[in-house]
Amino acid sequence: MVNQAIVILDIFGTAVFAISGVLVASKRRMDLFGALVLATVTAIGGGTIRDMALGLTPVFWVDQGIYLWVIVITSLASIALLNNFPTPPKWMLPVADAIGMAVFVAIGANKTLLVDSSMIVAVMMGVVTACGGGMIRDVLANQVPLVLQREIYATACIAGGIVWAIAVQLGFNLTLVTGLCVFTALVIRLVAIRYHLSLPRLGTTRMGE
C-alpha cells in the first residue's frame, strides 16, 4: 500500500509539473513542440538528475514508460484547454508548480532509501528532484530560474526535506513521513506566494572593493 501510494503521488507530481511546463510555454508563446519539450523536462528533469546521481540506472522513466504517457496526455489536454481559455488565472502556474514541487521533494527523499544514503543526501535529492526540472524549464524559456530568484522555493524544499529526515529518524511509517514532507513544503510555498514573502537579495559590490 505504501509503495502504491508513492507511485500514485509520483505520477500526480509528474502530471502537475507537466502542466506547469505547458503554462510557461504558453506564456512564452511557444508552439506545440516547445510546449511538449518544456512539459517533459519539467516533469522528469529533476528525477533524471537524481537517479543518475544515486547510480539508479536506467533512470525511472526508461524502465517505466507510463511517465512519458502521463506527460504527453496531460500536456495535450492542457494545450486543448488553453486554446479555449488562452489567459489562465495568474495564480494557476505558481500553485501548480508548488504542488508538484512539494510532491517531488518527498519522492526524491524516499528514493534515497533504496541506496541507504545519509539523511543530508536524502534532503539534497529531494531538493534536486523538486527544483531540477523547473530550472531546466526556465533556462529553455529564456528566463532566470525561479529557484535562483527571491522566491521562497528551494527553502520550502529544504524545510520539507528536513521534516522528512526527522520523521524517518523518529521511526514514523513511510506514508506519514511522506505526508508530513509534502504538507510542510507545500504550506511554506503557498504562504510565500500568498503574502509575497521572499529572501533578501545580496547587495551589489564593485570589483576590487
Q: What is the pLDDT of residues 9-56, one digit of tens each?
A: 788 889 989 998 998 999 899 999 999 999 999 999 999 999 999 999
Running DSSP on this structure, what letter comes out for residue 143? S
Q: pLDDT tens digit string along 187-202?
A: 999 999 999 888 776 6
How far is it, in rounded angstroms, from Cα 41 to Cα 22? 11
pLDDT for 7: 79
Exposed, middle or buried by CB within 10 Å (0-12, 13-18, 19+), for 201? exposed
Running DSSP on this structure, what letter comes out for residue 127? H
How far is it, in rounded angstroms, from Cα 15 to Cα 1? 21
Confidence band, pLDDT 50/70/90 cuts, at residue 1: low
How far is it, in rounded angstroms, from Cα 178 to Cα 5? 10
Q: Give SS3 for 172.
A: coil
Tally Cβ neighbours within 10 Å of residue 144. Answer: 10
